[in-house]
Structure 1
Amino acid sequence: MLEAAICNMKAFGRVVVCGVISHYTDIGKRASPSMIDIVYNRITIKGFLASDFMNDFANFLAKTSNYLRFEKLHVIEDISTGVESVPSAFIGLFNGDNIGKKIVCLAKE
């Protein structure tokens, strides 16, 4: 995905990167965008960790809660049902099978 995004970016585009889940399971698999595209289009790539922003968490939580409450933000959930679906749901995370937040529903409320 990163390679495709870099190839289609405008000059002076910016990319932020947080999380490299594909690297957790396959050390031989590396994201490698075309360096010539990065140089010619003067693209900036910056990594960050979620923990870099923990001092903003209370403000984020308050704003996000209101967005959800007033339906200005919609959550996308990919829900599997039953304890038997846990292994395939977990493996699917590493294969990119889910869209949005992956949830396994073990019992109805």
Structure 2
Amino acid sequence: MKAQALHGHLDALLLAVLESGAMHGYAIIEALKARSGGSLDLPTGTVYPALRRLERAGWVSSDWSVVNGRQRRTYQLTAGGRRTLAGERASWQEFSATVQAFLGDARPPAAPA
């Protein structure tokens, strides 16, 4: 998948991954990759700055935790993040329906009789 295709959607994807519960950064990257069937194999240099941005916005909170004996920063959705995710989902439904009207079928609609 082209990185440009993610423009404007990465935040929503990260929020959606965190909807299932708290995760550390590497687990988030792996979840993106798994849920996309390998299409989203994002570098840490893309994901971690986005997580920090989401935290500054108040949509994600983080705490240090021990995972497999190692200290890791664990991220989770805040109430504001859940509201934002709901809004992102509604916007995505509207956007994808509009694009589908143009790209979903190669045949133009029949003209009214």
When normalised by structure 1's length, the TM-score is 0.26
Q: Which has the higher helix share?
A: 2
When normalised by structure 2's length, the TM-score is 0.25
Q: Which has the larger radius of gyration?
A: 1
